Structure 1
C-alpha cells in the first residue's frame, strides 16, 4: 500500500527527472575540445594553378563532422585499393578522394577508377599507398571547398 506522503512526492520526483532528461541533449552538444579564440572552423586556400583547395579544419570542426580516414593499400597488380566510402563523384563524372596529408589538413585528389567491387575501389591513378583518405565527411569537405552551404 502507498502512503499519501509518497504520492505527494511523486510529482516533484517526476519534475526533477523531466528537467534532467531535457538538459541531457544540451550537455551532449558541448564539446570538451576547446578552440582557440578567433579560430575559424575551416580555412580554405585555393591553389591558383590547379584550382584545388587545401582545407584546414579546427579540431572542433573535425570532431563535429566525425571525420574518419583509412589508408590507401596496394591493389591487384599495379592498382591501388581504396575504400568505396572515400570515393566522390563530381557532376561531370570525375572521381575524387580527399586526402589527409598532415594533421587537420585535407586536399582533394583525382582518382582513375578501374572497378568497384565489394566496397573496394581499384584505381590506376590516385594517392600513393599509405596515404590517408577521408571515408566519413568527404561530402562536407566538398561543400566547404566549393562553399555550397551559402
Structure 2
C-alpha cells in the first residue's frame, strides 16, 4: 500500500511539472517591445529608449566624450571611441548620445581626424557627454526600423 501511495505522489508531481511548463506568459511579457521611439520636440530627431533586456541583447556599451591632449602640441581636443561613429546614407557623421539611462539620440559631429581607435572631433557634444560606443549600428537600425 505504501508503495502505491508513493507511486501516485510521483505521478502527480511529474504531471504538475509537465503542466507548469505549458503555462503561458502574461500578456505584459508578450507585448513588451525592446525599444520605444519618441520624437524630439522641435527637431527631426528621434529618441530611442531601450529596455534593460534589449541593452543586454545587443551588448550596448557606453563611454564619454573626453577632452585630452592630442598630437605633440598637447592641445586638448574632444575625442570619442571610433566605435561611436556612424555614417548616414548622405555621408553625414553622427554619434548616439545618452541624455538619460537607456535613452539614445543621434547627435551630428564633425570629425577632424581618426587616430587608431580614437576620433578627434572638430565639433560635437561637450566633454563628459555619455555616448554609445558598442551597438551603434543596432541603435541606428532601431531608429530607422531597418529589418522590422
Normalised by the size of structure 1, how large is the TM-score?
A: 0.71
How many residues in Structure 1 have an aligned counterpart in Structure 2? Answer: 115
| Residues 113 and 123 in structure 1, CA contact (< 8 A), matched pair in contact too | yes
CA distance in 1, matches of 2:126, 2:103: 17
DSSP-derived class of the 1:100 partner: strand
**Residue ranges of structure 1 left out of the alignment (5+ in a row):** 1-35
Please tell me whether Structure 1 or Structure 2 has the larger radius of gyration of its CA atoms.
2
1:60, CA displacement in angstroms?
0.6
1:115, CA displacement in angstroms?
0.5
1:49, CA displacement in angstroms?
3.4
Q: Indicate the residue corresponding to 2:22 in structure 1.
A: none
1:39, CA displacement in angstroms?
3.2
Structure 1 outlier segments of 4+, above 4 Å: none
Counterpart mapping for 1:1-150 below 5 A: 37=29, 38-47=31-40, 49-75=42-68, 76=70, 77=75, 79-150=77-148
| Residues 78 and 124 in structure 1, CA contact (< 8 A), matched pair in contact too | no
1:48, CA displacement in angstroms?
5.5
**Residue ranges of structure 2 left out of the alignment (5+ in a row):** 1-27
1:91, CA displacement in angstroms?
1.4
CA distance in 2, matches of 1:146, 1:50: 16
CA distance in 1, matches of 2:55, 2:139: 10
Cα RMSD over matched residues? Answer: 1.6
CA distance in 1, matches of 2:52, 2:129: 20
CA distance in 1, matches of 2:57, 2:45: 24
